[in-house]
């Protein structure tokens, strides 16, 4: 299909599907058979999918900059987290890492050449910083683009990752 005839929904769906399936394949490549049969049993996949369902609600209630700042603050990976991950060599689960990955994947989608809300050559790569530094018009456009992309992240969290709305990571 010729790319110039794709709707914005098709462009978002394609870009999000690409990053979600890449993430899923990365996680499954080192997983056991049980996780391969049901990816939602993987703690990181569940955390990624759960945030995909929650982030649009956070954005609607608090605004984009505040929601991203909240997620960023809550998911700072410190030395203790890395030590715990290294100690648990069989599972290598870190929900914070997965949630940070979702924000990075969202940024990649917004930089996609067919969407281009964030120019690829932008010096600032952190979505939170971009939201804070944006003018009013840029902030509204960025918020709308995030919400459009997150709609597809939610859909693929359910269909590809097997994570339903309301699924929580234990202990979080």
What's CA 14's distance to the chain center, in Å? Answer: 15
**Domain assignment of residue 152, yes or no:** yes
Give the CA dihedral 10, 47, 160, 120, nearest 10 degrees: 30
- pLDDT of residue 137 exceeding 70, the answer is yes
CA distances to 44, 88, 170 from 16, rounded to whole Å, are 18, 31, 26
Query: What does the block give as tokens for 132?
Result: 């804070």
Over residues 6-63, the pLDDT tens digits come to 899 999 999 999 999 999 999 999 888 888 888 888 899 999 999 999 999 999 999 9
Over residues 141-169, the pLDDT tens digits come to 999 999 999 999 999 999 999 999 887 76
Give pLDDT, residue 85.
46
Domain that holds residue 57: 7-159
Give pLDDT, residue 91.
47
Give the pLDDT mean for 105-110. Answer: 93
- pLDDT of residue 120 exceeding 60, the answer is yes
**Domain assignment of residue 129, yes or no:** yes
Give pLDDT, residue 121.
64
> Cα(72)–Cα(74) distance, rounded to whole angstroms?
6
Give pLDDT, residue 2.
54
**Domain assignment of residue 17, yes or no:** yes
> Cα(132)–Cα(147) distance, rounded to whole angstroms?
17
**Domain assignment of residue 167, yes or no:** no
In 3D space, the residue among 78, 76, 84 whose CA is nearest the CA of residue 103 turns out to be 76
**Domain assignment of residue 125, yes or no:** yes
**Domain assignment of residue 118, yes or no:** yes
- pLDDT of residue 87 exceeding 60, the answer is no
Domain containing residue 35: CATH number = 1.10.520.30
Domain count of the fold of the chain:
1
- pLDDT of residue 123 exceeding 80, the answer is no
Give the pLDDT mean for 107-129. Answer: 80
Give pLDDT, residue 38.
87
3-state SS record for the chain = CCHHHCCHHHHHHHHHHHHHHHHHHHHHHCCCHHHHHCHHHCHHHHHHHHHHHHHHHHHHHHCHHHHHHHHHHHCCCCHHHHHHHHHCCCCCCCHHHHHHHHHHHHHHHHHCCCCCCCCCCCCCCCHHHHHHHCCHHHHHHHHHHHHHHHHHHHHHHHHCCCCCCCCCCCCC
**Domain assignment of residue 75, yes or no:** yes
Query: What does the block give as tokens for 42?
Result: 């993987």
Give the pLDDT mean for 107-132. Answer: 81
Q: Residue 88: pLDDT band by 50, 70, 90 thresholds?
A: very low
């Amino acid at each position: 299909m010729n790319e110039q005839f794709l709707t914005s929904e098709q462009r978002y769906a394609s870009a999000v599907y690409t990053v979600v399936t890449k993430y899923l394949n990365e996680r499954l490549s080192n997983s056991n058979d049980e996780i391969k049969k049901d990816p939602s049993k993987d703690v990181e996949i569940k955390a990624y999918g759960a945030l995909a369902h929650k982030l649009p609600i956070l954005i609607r209630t608090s605004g984009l900059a505040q929601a991203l700042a909240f997620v960023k603050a809550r998911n700072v990976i410190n030395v203790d987290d890395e030590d715990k991950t290294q100690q648990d060599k069989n599972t290598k689960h870190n929900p914070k890492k997965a949630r940070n990955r979702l924000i990075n994947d969202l940024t990649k989608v917004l930089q996609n050449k067919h969407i281009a809300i964030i120019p690829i050559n932008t010096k600032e790569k952190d979505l939170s910083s971009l939201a804070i530094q944006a003018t009013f018009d840029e902030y509204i456009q960025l918020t709308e683009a995030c919400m459009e992309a997150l709609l597809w992240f939610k859909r693929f969290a359910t269909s590809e990752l097997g994570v339903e709305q309301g699924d929580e990571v234990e202990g979080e």
